[in-house]
Amino acid sequence: MAGRVSLPPGLLDEWELTADGEPWTGFHASVVPVTTADGEPAALKVGLHDNEHLALQHWHGRGAVRLLRADPGRGLLLLERLPGPDLADHWDVEACEVVAGLYRDLHRPAVPQLRRLSSYAGEVAAALVDLSRDVPLPPRLVQQAGLLAARFAADPATDGTLVHTDLHYGNVLAAHRAPWLAIDPKPLSGDPHYEVAPLLWNRYDELSGRVRDGLRARFHAAVDAGGLDEHRARDWVVVRAMDLARQRLADPPGTPRRTPTPALLTMCVSIAKAVQD
Ligand SMILES: Nc1ncnc2c1ncn2[C@@H]1O[C@H](COP(=O)(O)OP(=O)(O)OP(=O)(O)O)[C@@H](O)[C@H]1O
Ligand SMILES: [Mg+2]
């Protein structure tokens, strides 16, 4: 019940909400099903938001869940409640087509308050150059990703489009007013080609025994359905895969993790290789 999630005292009364079922606890946030004063099913998200409200406001419900109310200072979002399910049990290649089919609605001119992807790419380039040659990653891939990141950092096309950046199978829910809608953006002012990588590293374990072909099928499904340039999408996958690996290597020892570090590094290398073989 809502009682197990720590809601600000008095919030339900303040926003005229009634708790309506068990909360979902995501990796970063908790989401409490509620009913509004009008009797509408809604979802109250409590936790960190990475400017989530700015993206949701900008989308106005096109391609994404509708934002009903936000208090970013207190980390609170009231969302339209979607019936689901998500895409976790969908055939993965078709799921990639579904997700990439949302790009057209989501990839609008960015709002100025968002962080620019070029500035992040510059940070990634510097971090990859600084990565010790002793880490268990192929030096050639680390160097390649660093050079690509530096090139993206200097490329005007890297900024300007609102991108979700965490568009994976669990962040797309079935809906009534559209077949599928995105939730949980971590938005940047960026490049649509940045969007593909989470489709490769999520549900990775399912590809056991056919990793390369499975990754390539997902990648091409997303590129084709999203109308993306294959080379630019591939370069971002290489950068994001090596960025994910170096972030893990920078974690303090003992950080609780779903995937052990050796398995995660192997996955990142497989992804960066599969898209360029
Ligand atoms: N508007 C909504 N309608 C219905 N269910 C929702 C809604 N928003 C979130 N959920 C449910 O709550 C879960 C967690 O929400 P969300 O993905 O926004 O948070 P998160 O903690 O940031 O997730 P993640 O684990 O991806 O980091 C979702 O996976 C989904 O099951
Ligand atoms: Mg999520």
Strands (E), the chain: 18-19, 24-25, 29-35, 41-47, 67-71, 76-80, 161-163, 172-174, 180-182, 188-190
* Domain regions of the chain by residue span: 2-80, 92-274
Is-same-fold flag (2-80; 92-274)? no
Task: Give the closest residue to 167 by CA, choosing from 246, 228, 250, 80.
Answer: 228
Fold of the domain built from segment(s) 2-80? Phosphorylase Kinase; domain 1 (3.30.200)
pLDDT at 4 over 70: no
Q: Which superfamily, per CATH, for 92-274?
A: Aminoglycoside phosphotransferase (APH), C-terminal lobe (3.90.1200.10)
Element (H, E) at 15: none
Q: Would you give the end-to-end CA distance of the chain in angstroms?
A: 49
168 ligand 1 Cβ < 6 A = no
- Evaluate: CB of 183 within 6 angstroms of ligand 1: yes
Residues in the chain, overall count:
277
Question: Which of 22, 67, 173, 177 gets mutated to test ligand 1 (max ligand atoms within 8 A of its CB)?
Answer: 173
pLDDT in tens, 42-91: 999 998 788 999 999 999 999 999 999 999 999 999 999 999 999 999 99
Of 77, 86, 84, 85, the closest CA to residue 34 belongs to 77
Q: Shortest CA distance to 201 belongs to which of 272, 123, 147? A: 272
- pLDDT class of 12 with cuts at 50, 70, 90: very high
Catalytic one among 86, 134, 155, 166? 166
Contact 187, 50 (CB under 8 A): yes
What's the CA-to-centroid distance between 94 and ligand 1, angstroms? 21
The closest residue, in CA terms, to atom 1 on ligand 1 is 81
Whether 225 and 97 have beta carbons less than 8 Å apart is answered as yes
